[in-house]
Chain A
Amino acid sequence: MNGVLSQYETPFADVFVREQEEAPAETGTQGNNYIFEIDSPFSRTYETADRDAASPLSTGYVSLLSELNDAEFTETLYELANEVEDTWRSKVSNELAMGSNYIPFVTRQANEYFEPLLRETTGMIDKVSEHFTGNNLADHSMAELENYFDRLEFNHGTFSPVQEQFFGKIFNKVKSAVKTGIDLAKKGVAAVGKLLPVNVILNKIKGLVKPLLEKVLKFAIGKLPQNLRPYAQTLSKKYLNLEAEAGGDVDQREADLEAVQMEFDHHIAQLVFSANESETDHIVSEYELSFENIERLTSYETGGYVEKQSYPAAREQFIGELKALQPGESPAPAIEKFLPAALIALQPVIKMALTIIGRQKVINFLAGLLAKLVEKYVPANVAKPLAASIIDVGMSAIGFETAETGKTDLAYEAIANTVEGTIQHMTGLDEAALNDQEALTMHLLEAFEQAAADHFPPQYIREELRPTKQKALWVSMPRGGAVKLYKKFTHVYEITIDPKTAGTVKTYRNLPLSNFLKDKYGIDTSKPVKAKVHIYEIASGGKLSAISRFENLPGLNARQPKAWVQLLPLNSEASAMLLKEPALGRNVPARKTATRFRATAGQRFYYLEIDGARLRIPQVKRTSHRTVENGQPVAGTESRSADVQVVLNFVKSEIRLNYYFSEEDASGIVENLNKGDFLTAGMHIRNAVKGVLGDILRKNIGSKVKIVHEAVPELYFEHIGDQQEQFAALDVLGKMAGKDMMGKIVQAMTEKLSGKAYDAVVAFFKARAAEFKTAQAAPQDGVTIKLVWTNVQGMSAIKTVISAIRGNLSLGSLSDLSFPNLTAPEVSIVADKKFD
């Protein structure tokens, strides 16, 4: 091992790594003896022969799923998790010290918070259920149903805006379930088979609410299973008789709330389409126990590895062990002990591969290398000046506590961060690389260079490796907390953002920074904007909201509602343009920045502290249910920015396109229309539709195009895994991979659609601009232009192709396949953001 290291120039400026005898036991060749294969119980095809994939049930099922799916529900769950966390955060100073008492304590706190929400939500479901008891559903018209739900009035004055939002979202889902029930009843038993009365279904849906809240709590405490998403995706495939690969993509394994919604929606849909009560009981109990089942599966996949302690506890123990090392003692055993937890938390890819090739030997190998690289900094007489240097570099930005000065803790923390960062940077490792000692070493050394440069003071790092021109480094935060949830860069940049830069730097879903500044703060971006830039990195188990919870900056602090939405992704482009420091940015796959809810460990963000800027949270009612009190509407959502959505509904041969104009954009258009300046108004519209909105759509096809098709229960292209088992035999499709082909179809349809949509929007403004003005004058936030193409010719042919791609049908000739011929759409305008 040292033979390898002797040729390696360490990242440290002042260190020469001595050659030592290779430790024989730790460095055995990773040979074939580590390879064993596990036939996962989930890696099989579900076949339920009694269901016909193209039946009214299947189409009804995916239609309901589509209706239930609501991007804002994820946001609501996220905010609910934040609020529930507030109930215990101030009462817990050191969660690690609480040990096994921590979870029961927070569960008690959370239950107190959830109790009224659960009571009101289930009460609402009871009320609806009561109304439909004994009624012949087929007798209800949809208008009556809408009328009934519109008239319902609720009184829960003590709810926070977030609780109110959650209640409203469940209300909408209940309404969708009842609507589908009525629709099915109208179709009759002959067409859809025997169905349960809607009150029975609602009663079962009621049983899903408590487990849903428990899952929100799991998210809040960082215990959401990482492979929930692939698991949730299998649920409906099983139901729809599709190929189901439960293992899912490794890169989609993230503890996310989108998967929580997906799982919840699938269970509602399954309840609505259940044939008997025992099936519904099974669905509810499966939902209640899903996390336990997933955990069992994870344990099985990792070769029986059970997380003995949480990652923060393992990290703390590691730092403690480094501190306790005697002079001359190697840190290797401590690193060996720490690595399994780090791998589980930070590198699920390696973790999965390690189950096959033999975890312990790889860990020993990596630990041996890492120990050699860091051992020089472990002795107390070296650690002390290192810690002092860190304090010196970071004092102004971090404000270290007096208790931290004069101690070695920060030095050991830097070493732990470096080891942790090395593991985090070891991306792209496959089974072959893990088997190849030389490749593994090179990977590790490269990752180590980067990690050391991030966490050691610049003077310790060779100049060419320093990621920044500043005298700065990354420090774990919060300083006072035992569990570190994020890192902060110790230099705060003072910059001026010129209009061109603001228009070029992209934020979430490819939205320009200028739109963000205008919509969120009401800043005039035609003039230069001065800002202080604070930079952060999410740590394992951390979330964006953890940063705002523990930071204490103007606008970014625990008191500012929705403060975390102001944290923007720092990729190398944004870093180069704003800070002139490209190496500080961290590039992540585009899907990670499609929404704010996918932030994962290692991702970097920035916050712009702008004099006088205030995040605006307009007081507009965002839920559709009525409440008794007529006071100030409660709102917990920041002013929104431009957005777009396409719904390709193959079940109805219908296409919907929704353009959302922010309040700022809409008011700008109205101002020019009123001025009679149609040229400028037209340019605004063109820039919005063809520029910003078009760009959002083009760059986010995977998340902005909803597909309603019985062979695509994932609803979004980005949720479809890459496993070829999910697609038809490839040679039928001219050697093009199934997913690629589907992607191309969706992309081509979307492009064609965008061109037609722009023409329709222009025609609309020419004839019906007054409707836009009226919608903009409504007290809601922004305006949505809704375009609908019905009975689209040619969609059924594409539907068949997609079915074939997903392996449900045999594919005929593709030669006559053409994209739908789109005529003029129906256009309507609504105030607020109203997506389908």
Chain B
Amino acid sequence: MYATESIDRSLTRQINHWLMATNRLAVLENLASEAAWQGIDHTMEQLLKASFKQSIDEVTAFAQGLKQQLETGNGPDNQRSVRRGVLQLRDKYLKAEETIQFYTVAINSRTTPRLAALLRACDILCIKSMQELLHPLGRKTPLVLTYVDKGVGASILKAGLRLWDGRISPVAAIKVTQHNLYRPTAIIHETGHQVAHILGWNEELALALQNKLSGYPPEVAQAFSSWASEMAADAFAFVHTGFAAVAALSDVVSGSPASVFAFHANDPHPISYLRVMLNVTMCREFYGSGPWDALLDAFKNDYDIELVSFASVPLIRKCMEALPAVVHILLGTGHRAFDGKSLSQLINPNRSGPLELSKLEYLAGPALFTSHAWIWKECLRLLALNGYKIGVGTGDLPALYKQQEDWMTKLGFSVEMN
């Protein structure tokens, strides 16, 4: 009898504990400040809050049900059932917390009005990049929440994916790294993942690579096919931002030789060495010769394939032969995902090439970086232009970063205020 009571008390205590924790979780202002919430798009705020509420309501309802079961039922079977339920409750709570925490941490990264404006500019860049592809294909563009975090590379939690708590992610959450905040071409790589997911391009591309590279050794076709999703995202960043994306990528992957030549069987990322080669090939195929040649020379000098003996070297050598063909499949071949058109037909990479960028600069004049009309209309090409100049690496580089910061701030402030 005594044991039954103590078990009941213990179960009640645990249910209450998780219930109280859930109640605390429900006060979203505890997790992200009012000011931080105001730094994001209103519709996004509503979507997220509605999603959080559903998640919390589910945990609460489950806890209440257990409480009732414990109060109304009796006997060891009931206790056992409730005990199992408590474990489930604990698990549900932790998953809900993980989900909510993820987004609120992201929202909280908008710590000051200025940083919030910069991140809103990133949101706009992301949305515009996707709209340009999705709109002509009659698809809706998801909302994007960018947030700033430490680390080397950007990442995305895609809209439409299942979250920790089992709910569907209502918005795309894209991490922009601190070091690349004023050179954020990587976020366009991430939106490339999102559009490929929406359009089902990854699967189609993987198959196309497998089939169309049949003239190369099977391991080459197999490797490129397994890297389809990352190459798709690279191609998307390239068509929007040209050499800027290539230079930024090169800087990001330029780690130790071991990491540059590393090959992991299940990694969707191409071997970094090959990835830089692939991106430079994209530039060459569309723009001819240019500063990417110098970039590649320097890269090859830093990571001389003749001087290393990593296991990946033979595969790299074989794959290099296929790079022009891969670029053609990525950018010049029609795909069902694009209604039979090629990516470069839908988004012309030449618009972000050196010639067109310099033409843009000439035609807009000094207003290009100050006029809100130009900034809004051409923000993606401004990203390409600034990134191009930074990528070339000559001139007043700090001034270029400042220019990037200034127009992004203008862009971010122009759509919403804190």
* Chain A residues within 8 Å of B, Cβ to Cβ: 161, 522, 552, 554-555, 557, 559-561, 611-612, 614-620, 632, 636, 639, 662-664, 666-667, 670-671, 674-675, 773, 776-779, 781
Contact = CB atoms under 8 A, between A and B. Distances in A.
Contacts of A776: 365, 367, 371
A287 to B, nearest CB: 34
Nearest to B114: A632
8 contacts: A560-B416, A611-B135, A611-B140, A614-B124, A619-B372, A674-B363, A674-B365, A777-B370
A671 B363 contact: yes
B365 A670 contact: yes
B42 interface: yes
Contacts of A773: 365, 367
Given A667-B364, A667-B374, A670-B365, A554 B414 contact: no
Nearest to A639: B372
B191 interface: no
Contact of B373 (A557, A559, A663, A778): A663
A609 to B, nearest CB: 10
A555 B416 CA distance: 10
Contacts of B365: 670, 674, 773, 776-777
B373 A667 contact: yes
A445 to B, nearest CB: 45
Given A612-B127, A616-B414, A552 B373 contact: no
B292 interface: no
What are the 9 closest A-B residue pairs judged by CB atoms, nearest first?
A618-B372, A777-B367, A663-B373, A522-B376, A777-B366, A559-B42, A554-B43, A619-B413, A614-B415
Contact of A559 (B38, B362, B376, B413): B38
B370 A616 contact: no
Contacts of B409: 632
A643 B37 CA distance: 36
Contacts of B38: 559
Contact of B410 (A560, A618, A670): A618
Contacts, number: 90
B395 to A, nearest CB: 21
A619 B416 contact: no
A632 B113 contact: yes
B42 A777 contact: no
B36 to A, nearest CB: 14
B177 to A, nearest CB: 24
Given A662-B373, A674-B365, 16 more contacts: A559-B45, A560-B416, A561-B416, A611-B131, A618-B372, A618-B414, A619-B372, A619-B410, A632-B113, A636-B417, A639-B372, A639-B414, A663-B371, A667-B364, A674-B362, A778-B370
B363 A615 contact: no
A611 B141 contact: yes
B46 interface: yes
A773 B365 CA distance: 8
A229 to B, nearest CB: 33
Given A560-B42, A674-B365, A776-B367, A522 B141 contact: no
Contacts of A664: 373
Nearest to A161: B417
A614 B144 CA distance: 14
Contacts of A615: 415
B377 interface: yes
Contacts of B363: 671, 674-675
Contact of A612 (B141, B362, B374): B141
Contacts of B124: 614
A773 B364 CA distance: 9
A559 B44 CA distance: 12
Interface in B26-55: 38, 42-43, 45-46
Contacts of B117: 632
Contact of A617 (B127, B140, B415): B415
Interface string B356-398: 0000001111110011111011000000000000000000000
B46 A781 contact: no
Contacts of A778: 370
A670 B114 CA distance: 30
Contacts of A552: 46
Nearest to B38: A559
Nearest to B366: A777
A662 B38 CA distance: 29
A489 B42 CA distance: 23
Given A554-B43, A614-B415, A618-B410, A674 B131 contact: no
A663 B377 CA distance: 12
Contact of B371 (A555, A619, A667, A674): A667
Given A552-B46, A559-B38, A632-B409, A616 B372 contact: yes
A778 B367 CA distance: 7
Contact of B370 (A522, A555, A779): A779
Contacts of B372: 616, 618-620, 639, 663, 781
Nearest to A663: B373
A552 B45 CA distance: 12
Nearest to B124: A614
Interface in B328-354: none
A671 B417 contact: no
Contacts of B367: 667, 670, 773, 776-777
A735 to B, nearest CB: 52
B144 to A, nearest CB: 11
A554 B135 CA distance: 18
A612 B379 CA distance: 15
Contacts of B366: 777
A666 B372 CA distance: 11
A614 B409 CA distance: 16
Interface string B92-128: 0000000000000000000001100100000010011
A522 B377 contact: yes
Given A674-B362, A674-B365, A777-B366, A617 B377 contact: no
A616 B42 contact: no
A565 to B, nearest CB: 14
Contacts of B370: 777-779
Nearest to B374: A667
